[in-house]
Chain A
Amino acid sequence: MTTPLYKKTAREIRDAVRSGAVTATAVTEAHLARIAEVDPKVDAFTQIWTDEALAQAAAVDAKVKQGVDPGPMAGVPVGVKELICTRTGKTTCASKILENFRSPYDATIIKKLDAAGAIFLGKVNMDEFAMGSSTERSTLKTTKNPWNLKCVPGGSSGGSAAAISADECAMAIGSDTGGSIRQPAALCGCVGIKPTYGRVSRYGLVAFASSLDQIGPLTKNVEDAALSLNTLCGRDPLDATSADLPVPDFTKALTGDVKGLRVGLPKEYFTEALNAEMREKVEAAVDVFRRGGAEIVPVSLPHTDYAIATYYIICTAEASANLARFDGVRYGYRHPGAKTVEEMYVLSKSEAFGPEVRRRIMLGTYVLSSGYYDAYYLKAQKVRRLIKKDFDDAFEQCDFVMGPTSPIPSFEFGAKTENPLEMYLADIYTISVNLATLPGISIPCGLTASGLPAGLQMIGRPFGEETLLRAAHCYEQTSGITLGEPPIA
């Protein structure tokens, strides 16, 4: 029996469509059918753009037929996170405040993917304004983990990760402010890479924390991550913080060996906080690298314990300003009872922002308010530099840093929504990477005894994505670990 089209990787689809072996229309139809089959259980997709997707596919097929280059992502079906602005459909950020928002413009990455021949199947779920680690904060629906429908998919890009894991699309766009690509990728057993800050244009990504946010792909394997980055990366004149660096062909970095690479293991990542089962998986992964000829180097990231406090000061402060624009004047929800300008603000925001968003706005406003700026925000900016320096120092001794993506595997719904601080602490391994603006990738490194995926994280030098992809790809090819199919039950 041949592999169904929805099981194929982006690379396989792209090659088949370009060669004419299969049509983009057939690929799209197969994925739409797969969504119809499994999404009622997984609830990853929040919008399905059947007509638009088939029209895009027809355009790709027409190009192939005419002998015109259909692009490096030809026919690859993509799910787009709800906070990426698209002229098609709505851009809700999984929030009541934007429940009817239709973007008048496309994000830069949407234009790039479209030009590359990718097919947008629709949008996928997330925590409201990307604030959360479980996608339970969505106002749209509850996305489940395909490995155990009672468990969360992680977050905030939980819809992206679940959709990949359930074979509903071959690539999903996520965004990562403190781990929002890597952690759900780990919890759902797929590959997720957060590129270096500045690698991918943020134009059209609805901002949560502007100095930390970065767009990245979630994929079925490392090669697809590399392929996706080829299209996503690059300087954008509309984003002043996008790096003016040449974009390599990332797929060329996948050499299949790690000989000579130095793998840094930070001692701060292997403490009591790390679940024993997760530790075991990571240690097994270390062995794979050792056997592959890599050198294992103990390193230290001494300010690791301060990362969460630093992160929550910076991200809430930036968010408090970024979310101020949702005032019911130009777009978004306006409370019908508002009779004055102040009521328009207060009633609309209070009703249409969820509790976690309100809490973060409050925290961010507080740390910036008169008399507290130096104690919190300025202090956090200084510690952020120390955290970045920890990595700079570590990279003197190693080529990348390795450890778990999340200290724990997926958990049941409602298990961690009560105590916000406890939920914040679970981001320990991912947020330093955003603070230090570094690239980080999460790849599956096995299943726990209860059948939930564990994720291995690798952290690279600034703009060192190629090294990460090479290491992750080699691990994927040589570790012998395959998760198999999620039960979707």
Chain B
Amino acid sequence: MEFEAVVGMEVHVEINSKSKVFCGCSGNFHAAPNTNVCPVCLGMPGVLPVLNVDMVNKSVAVGLALNCTISRWSKLDRKNYFYPDMAKNYQISQYDLPLCQNGWIDIEVDGQTKRIGITRAHIEEDTARNTHTIGGNQSGVDFNRSGLPLLEIVTEPDIRSAKEALAYLTALKQMLQYLDVSDCNMEEGSLRAEANISVRPVGQEKFGTKTEVKNVASFSGVHKAIEFEIARHIKLINSGGKVVQETRGWDADRGITVPQRLKESAHDYRYFPEPDLVPIVVDEAWEQRIRESLPELPAARRSRMGTQYGLSAYDANVITLSQDTANYYEQVVAAGADAKKAANWLMVELQSLLSAAKQDIRDCRVSPADLAALVGLIESGAINGKMGKDVIAEMFETGKATQDIVNEQGLSQITDTGEIEAIIRQVLADNPAQVEQFRSGKDKVFGFLVGQVMRATQGKANPALLNDLLRRELSRQEN
């Protein structure tokens, strides 16, 4: 029997507000343990939450970017469960009336576009973190993260493979970064993904029994965990077994999912409206203000830049992957560089330098104007491509201007026709055997002769000009 997977994703995103969602503590969770805490985020007796308006603004922005309907009226609820990470033993969240509902995002898989439905996005608060590095049979709890603003984004069960799940996460992360609402650092937990996975025979309407996979700390982990879980389900069913509805954790070290032991009552969350907070009413005017403040979103930018700069779909995709790269590119072109060549230099040379140095393009010492100047010098023939690579490496290292490096190193190409012709004549005279071979039809020898001329000029001869002149000289001598 052939099976298809049915996957829905729940993603928790820590929103990058300066302060926490219900109190004024700093949102910087890197501080020393329990130093960004106050009575509110410690759940002290008598405290009350007050909602951070920045969280509402950013959540609505995400909702709009994900094509959601923004609820005119929504409320917060208490979700009750006990855990040492929970300051109040209830989490303030949104239950039946989330802020954003019924949206979608397009993802790209194997060159095909697919639309993934977004069920909802809602406001909640993050929990504390515990550490097991404390000695003995004990854990330590740090409440710095308690009360950080958290947006939970839930998809429809529209995802059909691990690959699609990965594409969804990539598209979502790109969107969130374009909106500048989160640093989306999965390793640090500011973006966390859970997947609901089931399989069913192809053609069957009804969903199979699902399992929920948690504890995944990287994009590749999500991919592997979903792949593992799909295979596990299929194998179970094929061997006559049954999938048990349960929560499973991803064990990255062993590359498997393992069941998480939970009490029967663990899902009886006893939601009820949070009496300490009043409803959120986002009227049309407020929604419109946020809509107007949205940046150009990835899909729009991709398609605009493709058309405007004549980029291939692939190039447009790569360049718009991050907003910073796209901005950088547009600045290079604005500084006068040829659009196509600028794309190549950015995507190949600069990108490999950045990757090797593990550097962000925002911190790059090669300014867009310098890269544009470099592309210009190559195009004019003032330096050749190989020199260009040396120059960009030098710029990357030192931050010096393009022309300064070219001048300092005497890298300018020989473009003087007479000078090159003289050298060609000398080379031909020194290599009569190769000249003979060329004439008898061995075209490959041409390359050898080019190399000899290049060596004689220490690589400074303009390659196109050299090719031209060498052919002309060879045919002239023949006649």
Contacts and interface: CB of A to CB of B under 8 A. Distances in A.
- Complex contact flag A–B (Cβ < 8 Å): yes
Interface of A: 83-85, 91, 93, 98, 101, 103-105, 107, 202-207, 209-211, 237-241, 317-318, 320-321, 324-327, 329-331, 339, 341, 345, 365, 368-370, 373, 377
B345 interface: no
Contact of B50 (A207, A237, A326): A237
A206 B43 CA distance: 11
Interface in B346-400: none
A324 B45 contact: no
B276 A210 contact: yes
Given A327-B82, A345-B82, 5 more contacts: A207-B46, A240-B277, A241-B48, A321-B272, A330-B44
Nearest to A201: B48
B109 interface: no
The 5 A-B pairs of least Cβ separation, nearest first, read: A324-B89, A368-B270, A211-B275, A210-B275, A206-B45
A324 B90 contact: yes
A325 B87 contact: yes
Contacts of B82: 324, 327, 345
Given A238-B50, A324-B90, A331 B275 contact: no
Contacts of B42: 330
B46 A107 contact: yes
B84 A238 contact: no
Contact of B48 (A203, A317, A369, A373): A203
Given A210-B276, A240-B51, A240-B278, A368 B80 contact: yes
A327 B48 contact: no
B217 interface: no
A101 B46 CA distance: 12
16 contacts: A85-B45, A105-B47, A204-B46, A237-B50, A238-B50, A239-B48, A240-B48, A240-B49, A317-B272, A318-B275, A321-B272, A324-B89, A327-B82, A370-B270, A373-B271, A373-B272
A173 to B, nearest CB: 13
Interface string B205-217: 0000000000000
A75 B277 CA distance: 36
Given A324-B90, A325-B88, A368-B80, A105 B45 contact: no
Contact of B45 (A325, A345, A373): A325
Interface string B81-113: 010100111100000000000000000000000
A341 B82 CA distance: 10
B87 A203 contact: no
Contacts of A238: 48, 50
A203 B22 CA distance: 13
Contacts of A85: 44-46
B75 to A, nearest CB: 12
Contacts of B143: 330
Nearest to B278: A240
A329 B44 CA distance: 11
Contacts of A205: 46
Most central of A98, A209, A324 by chain B CB within 10 Å: A324
B141 interface: yes
A107 B45 CA distance: 10
B88 A206 contact: no
A330 B275 CA distance: 23
B12 interface: no
Nearest to B137: A339
Contact of B47 (A203, A211, A324, A341): A203
Interface in B29-74: 39, 42-51
B145 interface: no
B443 interface: no
Nearest to A91: B45
A202 B278 CA distance: 14
A345 B83 CA distance: 9
Contacts of A103: 39, 44-46
Contacts of A207: 45-46, 276
B233 interface: no
Nearest to B88: A325
Interface of B: 39, 42-51, 78, 80, 82, 84, 87-90, 137, 141, 143, 268, 270-272, 275-278
Contacts of B50: 237-240
A369 B78 contact: no
A324 B80 contact: yes
Nearest to A371: B268
For A202, A238, A320, which residue has the most chain B Cβ atoms within 10 angstroms? A238
A326 B278 CA distance: 25
A77 to B, nearest CB: 23
Contacts of A368: 80, 270-272
Contacts of B47: 105, 203-204
Contacts of B268: 369-370
Given A104-B39, A241-B276, A368-B272, A321 B46 contact: no
Contacts of B45: 83, 85, 91, 93, 98, 101, 103, 206-207, 325-326, 331
B412 to A, nearest CB: 67
B44 A241 contact: no
A105 B143 CA distance: 18
Contacts of B90: 321, 324
Contacts of A101: 45
B29 to A, nearest CB: 18
A206 B46 contact: yes
B89 A327 contact: yes
B51 A203 contact: no
Contacts of B278: 240-241
A85 B40 CA distance: 13
B41 to A, nearest CB: 11
A343 B55 CA distance: 37
Given A202-B48, A368-B80, A369-B268, A325 B43 contact: yes
Nearest to A101: B45
A377 B272 contact: yes
A330 B86 CA distance: 10
Contacts of B276: 207, 210, 240-241
Nearest to B276: A210
A259 to B, nearest CB: 39
A325 B272 contact: no
A317 B90 CA distance: 13
B328 to A, nearest CB: 42
Contacts of A107: 46
Contacts of B84: 327, 329, 341
A377 B272 CA distance: 8
A204 B276 CA distance: 13
Given A240-B278, A329-B141, A330-B87, A369 B270 contact: yes
Contacts of B271: 368, 373
A330 B141 CA distance: 9
A324 B92 CA distance: 13
B67 to A, nearest CB: 30
A239 B40 CA distance: 11
B79 to A, nearest CB: 10
A207 B275 CA distance: 11
B140 to A, nearest CB: 11
A5 B137 CA distance: 59
B49 to A, nearest CB: 7
Contacts of B89: 321, 324-325, 327
Given A329-B84, A330-B87, A203 B141 contact: no
Contacts of B88: 321, 324-325
Contacts of A369: 268, 270
Contacts of A365: 270
Nearest to B263: A342
A104 B40 CA distance: 11
B350 to A, nearest CB: 49
B416 to A, nearest CB: 77
A242 to B, nearest CB: 9
A315 to B, nearest CB: 11
A193 to B, nearest CB: 21
Nearest to B42: A330
Given A241-B276, A324-B88, A325-B88, A331 B48 contact: no
